[in-house]
Amino acid sequence: MGAGPLKDLPVRGADAVDAVIGVIRDKAVRPLTLATRAIVFGIVVLAASVVTTALLSITLIRLLTVYLFGGRVWISDVVVGALFVVVGLVLWSRRVDTATGSEGAS
């Protein structure tokens, strides 16, 4: 090959391509990877929380029915339903209105 600046031209070209690919990876691929991970972990946490809530409510109804209400399932259903309503009302009263930034019921 020739001497001088033309000798290291392939090396400089490869370094330039590597730098461009690094910038593309840093600007596009890495944020997409983080967003995808957040979505997947969010779905996993949501599914696990739904299953856990269902199993805990079934367990609570069974325990109340057997040990507290003597086989009367409807009373256990009312108690657990009232518990969910109370929790829902507390969470509803603590919400934040995103349009006005104010808290509480409007």
Q: How many CB atoms lie within 10 A of CB 76?
A: 19
Per-residue pLDDT tens for 44-80?
999 999 999 999 999 999 999 999 999 999 999 999 9
Tokens of residue 58, six digits: 């079934």
Per-residue pLDDT tens for 71-81?
999 999 999 99
CA–CA dist 80, 61 (Å, integer): 7
pTM above the 0.75 mark? Answer: no
Tokens of residue 23, six digits: 């910038």
Burial of 51 (0-12, 13-18, 19+ CB in 10 A): exposed
